[in-house]
Amino acid sequence: MKNILVPIGSSKNAISNLQYAIDLASFIGDVNVYVISVFKEFSKAGTGTRLNRVIEDDTKNNLEDVINAVDKKDISVVAHPLKGNVVEGVERFNKHIPVDLMVIGPRSNSVKEEVYLGNTSGKLVKQTNIPILVVPEGYTFKNVDSILMAFKSGTISKKKVLNPLMELIEGFDAELNLLRVITPDATEEDAKINDRLTKIKNSIVETENATTFQGVLEHFQSHNPDMLCVVRRKRGFFKKLWEKNIILKKEFYCNIPLLVLSGK
């Protein structure tokens, strides 16, 4: 893992979110942290040019304030204000500097307490294919002793999809527990579990549920993990997210870091 990206919005948790990313980078070692804030430009007609300059300056100042408020721990922390929308900005950045992991808060702009995953964060999970670590609001970095990975299908064809998980397991010396959720539409192919996972797993539990979501809700407390891991698939854990970008706390709430692997 070389590059961690932290998009920040107007959330009051931007500082704690960035601090978590820096602490993680410091723990892993030899990792760069990039912080971006995306702003939209107005039409340049009339006073648009002046207004855009003000917005860009405000964005730069906000980035500077957030960076000055964290302990950088000798980690390289580089800030970039970007024009456009957040998904386009992240994708543009990723083309120039390959992102190994993106650290986001569950509600980057939303202030509604009933929301777990807000519109902007939901778009990043839904519309990018970059590994994402969703860190709870105000969460402080600590060691990860156990990771629960929940999935419907154990077939993962691309080797690099599992790389962030493998690096975190190695870095934390964490145990990996697998939860295979057998849904009504499960196939024989779904039962085949990736060799890399079977070699390092500490345990595997199979459960029959209507969705991966429900399987996690049923078994989460008994496993009591320090991190939850899922794979980004249209009919997987975030099935509700493909219908809308927001997930309410009454539908799902995670009080530990949630690792979302690539895999659309």
Topology at the third CATH level for domain 3-134: Rossmann fold (3.40.50)
Q: Give the tens place of pLDDT for each residue, 108-144.
A: 555 567 777 778 888 898 888 899 999 998 899 999 9
Q: Which range has the worst mean pLDDT, 121-125, 182-186, 196-200, 240-244?
A: 240-244
CB neighbour class for 32 (10 Å; exposed up to 12, middle 13-18, buried from 19): middle
Q: Which range has the worst mean pLDDT, 92-101, 120-129, 191-200, 247-256?
A: 247-256
Report the DSSP pairing between strands 115-117 and 175-182: unpaired
Average pLDDT over the chain, rounded to whole? 87
The CATH class of the 146-262 domain is alpha beta
Q: Give the tens place of pLDDT for each residue, 5-53.
A: 999 876 678 999 999 999 999 999 999 999 999 877 666 655 556 777 7
137-164 average pLDDT score: 92
pTM: 0.90
Do domains 3-134 and 146-262 share one topology? The answer is: yes
Report the DSSP pairing between strands 32-39 and 3-7: parallel
| Dihedral sign for Cα atoms in the order 222, 227, 232, 238 | positive
**Amino acid 264: pLDDT:** 60
Across 202-218, b (16+ Cβ under 10 Å) vs e yields eeeeebebebbbebbee
Domain boundaries, the chain: 3-134, 146-262
